[in-house]
Structure 1
Amino acid sequence: MTTAYTTDDDRWAAIERRDRAADGAFFCGVRTTGVYCRPSCAGRPLRRNVAFHDTREAARAAGLRACLRCRPDEPIETLRYGLGETPLGLALAATSETGLALLILGDDQAAMVEDLAARFPRARLVEDGASVAPALAALSSAIDDGGRASLPLDERGSDLQRAVWKALRDIPAGTTASYAQVARAIGRPEAVRAVAQACGANPVAVLTPCHRVVRSDGGLSGYRWGVARKKALLDREAAA
């Protein structure tokens, strides 16, 4: 879904709701501070002090400088996102030009969108269900049968985190591994705590199966999307 910001009223409304989808479509100049901002900037100017500019260049030509809070001169990446129902409840997927950047489970749509915005504070967020439909379908399929998905991923993390996430995808459905086993698999046997932290930071639910990692005694330990979901996933995979 896209929105045109062609009138001043449309643009001011976007600023009032801090519309991330409007970032890059226009820029907000604030006469009293002499800066120009993204529409989603946390600053709250008065309407009478605001002028709209189609480009950064136009804002600079008007004698304005870039806001240090929202950094409107930094490149804007577009993330397209959408929500859908799965066998384990609500899910949100977000994709970039590179691939799947986020896939999370939850219970509250607004909270999930807020989570997305917090994870990608410099991104332009555009609701676009069609773009993320393949990811949501792959998630539902993986929940049902534990199968793997071949979707391209846009993974953002440290080298260790990415190594852990890759190792998780090598754990076969219907089996589990301990944090210590994953640490050994990535060649870092001393990094058990870091492995646990990487599992907790996993941005792609189920398709990167952190739910298959358990304590050394077989206990389920935690799961960022709820231990009940973790148990349900493992039970489904064991029965498949």
Structure 2
Amino acid sequence: MVDAYSKWIDIHVMNSTTSEATIAKLQQTFATHGLCDLIISDSKEFADYVKLNGIEHRTSAPLHPASNGCAERAVQSFKEGMKKIKEGTVRKKLNRFLFNYRITPQSTTALVPSELLMKRKLKSRLDLVFPNIEKRVQERQQKKHYHDKKSVNRQINVGQGVFARNFAIGSKIKWIPGEVIKQSGPLSFHIKLPDGHVIRKKYYITSHQSTKLRLHKQRK
């Protein structure tokens, strides 16, 4: 079976080609892709089945495959492709042929069958050679989202109590309490200390949950 629009091919290994066996394979394909609008074949035996499912059925001339050119070209591609595959069982050879065929651009459409039929390309080993830009962007966005979720809230308001890092030489006190009295930049604040001094500092995150601020040396 070949889709006239996308050139997608479905091939089934069959021990019998009776109408009952053929209908069973049609149902298998329809279960994946849905019912089609039109079937062109050289047999009238399953006319009742297609009519029941609202499918238009046209017959080509028996023993004259050229009257159904699309199907005939698909048969020729299948035969030539199978001859090139030397190893494996019939089913393994068939799977390899179908996979390679479905990811290969067609001369009539210049696109691969899977892209026309399913709106996407099938991934193959060739894709491992080229970087997947979309996947790389998604991974980086996910990492940033995870980092943002783990980050401590950076919002500091005037009047908020904070701890400022004390860089005074000889002092054993590493952190001194203070109160935010002014914001002078996106991450820069003026802090009033308990002794009345006002210091300017830049805000940064430590491993502690409490807000801590790096103290600049200059004082006002």
Q: TM-score range, shorter-chain basis? A: under 0.3
TM-score using structure 1 length:
0.20
Q: Whose radius of gyration is greater, 1 or 2? A: 2
TM-score normalised by L of structure 2:
0.21
Identify which of structures 1 and 2 has the higher relative contact order when contacts are C-alpha pairs closer than 8 Å and 6+ apart.
1
